[in-house]
A and B are shown apart, each in its own frame.
Chain A
Amino acid sequence: MAGTIVADTLTHSTAGSIATNYVVDGSAKAWVNFNGTGTIAARDSLNLSSLTDNTTGDYTASWSSALANASYSALYGAGVVAVISAQERLHTIAAGSYRIEMNEDNSAATDSSYVMLGIHGDLA
């Protein structure tokens, strides 16, 4: 049986101390790297239950363990294919999912071969 340590602070011999709430609060609660072209698929992820292809450049990532609320932070990794830039933006945020849209410079919706998300906030 694995043990459990209850502690408020971790102290390294040379690198300093950190309160354990920074470890818990500061860790990403979900992240994903997925291919948004064709049949979309995650290359790797944390806490991802499914990906939904809503329409061109429009995806929903659903979380296995929901966040405590819809006030969490989402960081993007905009996809860039060759030298054509694309940007991600929020469509809908919920405790259990995050829907994003990908657009080219001219605002046309576009699928991207690299779509990445990092989620920081409180798990339920």
Chain B
Amino acid sequence: MSTILVDNLTGKTSAGSITVTSEGGAATQSLQQGLAKVWGAFEQSGTQTFYDSFNMASITDLGTGLSQLTMSSIMSNANYASVGCSGEQSGGGNRVMGVRGSAGLTTSSIVFANYALSTGSISDDTRLSASLLGDLA
């Protein structure tokens, strides 16, 4: 087994592009493009806090069911994909979360709105998770 001791990985031909071979060996893909640039698991009810996170600077409570997550290192544009899920840690009904309109998605922060499907009303939840895929600045 081989081990590389390294603090930074930089592409030789293009600094921002390192290619990895697929599991099946039939394709190659950019390492940087496939990495999650930001992720967080957070509490929305009560005082909003992160359970754990990566590249998150802060969380702001914008009202019931609304959370603004601010990144430490910003994205290069607002065209990134945001994926995630929400739900109560113990029981509760079905939930859905999403970006709150185009104004809620910027290079440095993203606003999530969370809803209870049973009522269609905006709702705080105890456990939400999000991951951002895209380009860092």
Binding site for B on A (CB under 8 A): 2-3, 5-14, 17, 23-25, 27-29, 31-33, 43-47, 65, 68, 75-83, 85-87, 105-106, 113-114, 116-118, 122-124
**Bound-complex Cα distance A86 to B123 (A):** 14
Binding site for A on B (CB under 8 A): 1-7, 9, 11-13, 19-24, 26-27, 29-31, 33-36, 77, 79-85, 96-102, 104-105, 113, 115, 117, 120, 122, 131, 133-135
Task: Count how many pairs of residues, one from A and one from B, have CB atoms less than 8 Å apart in the complex.
Answer: 153
**Bound-complex Cα distance A76 to B84 (A):** 6
Given contacts A33-B80, A80-B100, A116-B82, contact A124 B26 (CB under 8 A): yes
Report whether B120 and A24 are in contact in the complex, using a CB–CB cutoff of 8 Å.
no
Given contacts A9-B3, A23-B31, contact A85 B120 (CB under 8 A): yes
Given contacts A46-B133, A80-B98, A105-B117, contact A12 B80 (CB under 8 A): no
Contacting residue for B99 out of A23, A44, A80, A124, CB 8 A:
A80
Contacts of B34 in A (CB 8 A): 27-29, 46
